[in-house]
């Protein structure tokens, strides 16, 4: 059985999984949102012990576009991955920088260009 809860804006705030219907949660997720209803975090307890093993966090720019996200894969308060997006004046993503192991060094940068019609060309 799966139980869901929602905030007053209709955003899902939790999922609780009771896989064998014994009344004890086997897995759960919690979600938070900013004032614009953008999801800002997801926390996962994958074994039902009440401890979140995985935490995802996102930030958004003033235009509501995702600016960054990060993961803490073992909830030790050390970021294991962080990615950052940049946008042009039209709100199109122009670059994506990825630190895949959380060491503070960017491992990969992807850049995007657009034609006059706003279509991605590279």
> Residues 75-107: pLDDT tens digits?
888 899 999 999 999 999 999 999 999 899 999
pLDDT at 77: 86
* Spatial CB neighbours of 104, under 8 Å, sequence gap ≥ 6: none
- b/e map 61-93, b = 16+ CB within 10 Å: eeeeebbebbbbeeeeeebbbbbbbebeeeeeb
Mean pLDDT over each residue of the chain, to the nearest integer: 94
Residues of the chain with pLDDT under 70: none
Domain boundaries, the chain: 1-52, 58-122
- DSSP strand E in the chain: where? 2-6, 12-17, 27-33, 39-45, 54-60, 66-72, 81-87, 93-99, 108-111
pLDDT at 76: 87
């Amino acid at each position: 059985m799966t139980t869901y809860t929602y905030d007053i804006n209709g955003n899902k705030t939790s999922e609780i999984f009771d896989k064998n219907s014994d009344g004890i949660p086997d897995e759960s997720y919690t979600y938070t949102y900013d004032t614009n209803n953008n999801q800002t975090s997801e926390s996962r307890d994958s074994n039902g012990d009440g401890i979140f093993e995985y935490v995802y966090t996102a930030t958004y720019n003033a235009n509501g576009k995702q600016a960054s996200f990060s993961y803490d894969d073992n909830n030790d308060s050390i970021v294991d991955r962080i990615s950052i997006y940049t946008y042009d004046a039209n709100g199109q993503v122009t670059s994506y920088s990825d630190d895949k192991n959380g060491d503070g060094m960017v491992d990969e940068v992807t850049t995007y260009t657009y034609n006059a019609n706003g279509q991605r060309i590279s």
